[in-house]
Amino acid sequence: MRACLTALTLLITLAGCSNDRTTINTSQSLVMESSVLSAGITTDEPIISETEGQQRAVSTLVNQQEKPVKVTYRFYWYDDRGLEILPYEKPRTLVVPAKGKIDISSQTGNLTASKVRLYLYL
């Protein structure tokens, strides 16, 4: 019985180690921490367009609260294979006015960029 438990524990450990944790689900284009939702901020998934040879992603943040909310965000750009495009964009912070809306955007000159992810946190 003890040998079975040891073998089962080892098998579970090895199965956990075999997962490729570097794989990124690029179909998820919006990631918001729960604190952002609790603060009354909502948004839509970023929309990608091409403007003057640059890929551009835009999203609108909406504050449903009676007070301004400070939000930090970062866009991550990916190519068709799901690889993140360099250089990495730095996180940016802004204040969404009370009961207001604000557009946020990101641009990349890399024409292989085909997907984007927006990450929001407080």
- For the chain, the domain total comes to 1
The pLDDT value recorded for residue 19 is 44
What's the predicted TM-score (pTM) here?
A: 0.77
Q: Is residue 99 part of a domain?
A: yes
CATH number at residue 110: 2.60.40.3230
For residue 29, tell me if it sits in a domain: yes
What torsion, rounded to 10 degrees, do the Cα atoms 58, 115, 21, 87 define? -80
- pLDDT tens, 6-64? 554 554 555 555 444 444 565 789 999 999 999 999 999 999 999 888 999 999 999 99
What is the structure's pLDDT at 119? 97
| Residue-level pLDDT at 18 | 45
Q: Are 26 and 98 in contact (CB under 8 A)?
A: no
**By residue range, what is the domain housing residue 86?**
24-121
Task: Give pLDDT, residue 16.
Answer: 52
